[in-house]
Chains A and B, each alone.
Chain A
Amino acid sequence: MKKEFLKIIFYNLSLIVVPAYFIRFVIWFITLSIDTGPGMLWKNSSFSMAYKLVIPNIFAQNGLLSGLSVTFFITISAWVVCIMLSAIFSFISYSYSYLRAPVKGILWMSNFHLFFGFLLLFFIWGEDINPDWFWASLIIIFCNGSLQSMTNKFIDQMDEIFNKKYVLFSISQGINKWHAGYNELIIKMIYSALEMLPFFLLSTIIIELVFERLKGLGSILLDNIKDIINNSYDRIDEIFMIVLLLITIVRITKILSVFLENKLKTDK
């Protein structure tokens, strides 16, 4: 049991470290082929080049923690609000069938690109879009398409659970179906929502690129990439740390969703 547990931890850690090091290798390879000037001492010998590839400087990027907190805060707030809105929309759609079509129509609008929300705000207010984090979160909620897919998933899960024998039996005994299926419904909803969290993270790092004052991980990553292209700077450690953090967040959500999936299977 302990060996199995250690194996899982090792597997998940390697799924964080290996892709991050792959990206580090690509950036290292690219940096080797550009002229970074005489100041780059690590290019002088093969040993220092190998050392540079393997050993990261984890404090190379200034403001990494604040960047992480900005990205994390926007992602989580958009995700939580989206779950609540999806729950409300799915409840309305499920309970009142005549409202399904208008709700579907409203949700269909969320397929527009994230920049649609930004352009609309820019058209109204110009560059004075304040507070940035609030509007960025709203754009992610309403323009990245997940409101529609999350609501549809929730409706499917309601359909599935309320047709199960134990819920039907409870209804026949006079118990409210929402009360009877509550536990399973909540776990399944959280599972579906967790599955979509990486998508919210992606939307956050995209929207950070256009809100210039939001210095999140996406924005810092873009600045570093532009520094390599335009100024031939060495940005191996900075990009590595950002990618490592992003992969870690994605991996943690995947581990949590797998955990919930296993819990659902054992409950069955």
Chain B
Amino acid sequence: MGSKLKLYILCFIPITILIASFFIEEDINMKGRFIPPLGSLHKLELNKDKVYIQDLSRNEKKFIKKIFRKKASGFINSKTKKEQSDIINSLIMKDVIKIELTSFHLLGTDNLGRDLLNMLILATWNNLSLAMIAVLFSIIMGTIIGILQGYVLNRDTAWYYKKIRFVFEFIINSITSIPMLVWLLIIVLFNEIILNIQEDYWKTACTFGLMGIVYYSSILSQAIEEHILSIKELEFLAASELMGLSKFKIIYYHIIKTNLGGVIFNQFIMILIQTIMLEITISFSYIGFGLSHVVTYGTLVNQMFQNPQTMNTIIPIIFAGILCGILNLAISTSKQMKA
């Protein structure tokens, strides 16, 4: 019961982030500056008449010149407010400026002044939607090949079944022999030159789709085949065959519905994690094959990397790491539940 509750809680966290993404818009407050975590943005309004009446110190005049630049209002972040608190308080007392809180940023802002938490929630939606493409293709292909390998071609005794099984096995072993990054780079090359897709998002979606079809489906089919082989000799399958149930019914009711749920769930989450990590990898500026105009973890990490002035730079990658850690915990909890 405890593990089940833990699994629900772990799955609830990413689902909540996804739901939250529907209520967030990609707004830019146009201040173009970093605000640290737990920081805020304040609007200052200048009372121009008072500037000439009141007797202002040199520092106060300098501050007004720096913030307002001949405008009636200006913005400062919480850090500046703290540093210049004496001057600001003095100006407020003299009724020269008015200050009001404009926005509060839990995780701070990026170099464009966008709220990082909002951007990370949006990035979660975009990353998971991209990852789902790889997951869907890999689950469909992987389940079909895994069941063929583990049950259909392995159960019957016709000689050519064995040959077909050997060919499948050889192809899958060949695919998994090639490191994932090599597949990724080759698929990127194929997309760039042969498919020549111009739009960023669809190019990456296509990359992940092909990765799902070729690489992840092979990994999934191996896991499914192994699982089916472990239950193949169980009596219920032989009994179902003796009862005259059709192969389709046996595969659907006795293999997929009752036995493969756990394996597919674990692989589903594993592929989600890997595609999130891959997206960050290919979007990095030194590699440069990923997205650039859509808000994803990769683009946020890359943009922050190019402006590494504050600790905010590593927040996106920590956020992505925590999400992947939660998903990893969900896998281990689901395995514990089965055990």
> A251 contacts which chain B residues (CB < 8 A)?
177
Q: Size band of the A side of the interface?
A: 35 or more
> A14 contacts which chain B residues (CB < 8 A)?
170
CA distance A103 to B101 in the complex (A): 43
Shortest CB distance B217–A (Å) = 16
| A89-117, CB < 8 A from B | 108-109, 111-116
Task: Tell me if A122 and B305 are in contact (CB < 8 A).
Answer: yes
Task: Tell me if B301 and A115 are in contact (CB < 8 A).
Answer: yes
Q: With A111-B324, A112-B321 in contact, do A229 and B193 touch (Cβ < 8 Å)?
A: yes
| A209-242, CB < 8 A from B | 209-210, 212, 218, 221-222, 225, 228-229
- Is B11 an interface residue when CB atoms closer than 8 A count as contact? no
Task: Tell me if A123 and B314 are in contact (CB < 8 A).
Answer: yes
Task: Tell me if B185 and A202 are in contact (CB < 8 A).
Answer: no
- Is A145 an interface residue when CB atoms closer than 8 A count as contact? yes
Task: Tell me if B281 and A206 are in contact (CB < 8 A).
Answer: yes
Shortest CB distance A63–B (Å) = 19
Task: Tell me if A119 and B193 are in contact (CB < 8 A).
Answer: no
The A interface, classified by DSSP as helix, strand, loop or mixed, is helix
- Is A247 an interface residue when CB atoms closer than 8 A count as contact? yes
Task: Tell me if B177 and A228 are in contact (CB < 8 A).
Answer: no
The listed residue (B174, B179, B286, B325) touching A22 by CB distance below 8 A is B174
Number of interface residues of B (CB under 8 A): 39
Please encode chain B, from 304 to 339, with 1 for each CB lying within 8 Å of some chain A CB and 0 for all others.
Answer: 010010010110011011001100110010000000
> B308 contacts which chain A residues (CB < 8 A)?
119, 122-123
User: Chain A CB within 10 Å — which of B170, B182, B189, B308 has the most?
Assistant: B182
The listed residue (A26, A30, A112, A250) touching B177 by CB distance below 8 A is A250
8 contacts between A and B (CB under 8 A): A30-B193, A30-B194, A111-B324, A120-B314, A202-B179, A243-B178, A246-B178, A250-B179
Q: Residues of B at under 8 Å CB distance from A?
A: 170, 173-175, 177-182, 185-186, 188-190, 192-194, 277, 280-281, 284, 286-287, 301, 305, 308, 311, 313-314, 317-318, 320-321, 324-325, 328-329, 332
Given contacts A120-B314, A222-B287, 5 further A-B contacts (CB under 8 A): A111-B321, A209-B287, A210-B286, A222-B185, A225-B188
Q: Residues of A at under 8 Å CB distance from B?
A: 14-16, 18-19, 22-23, 26-27, 29-30, 33-34, 108-109, 111-116, 119-120, 122-123, 145, 148, 152, 198, 201-202, 205-206, 209-210, 212, 218, 221-222, 225, 228-229, 243, 246-247, 250-251, 254
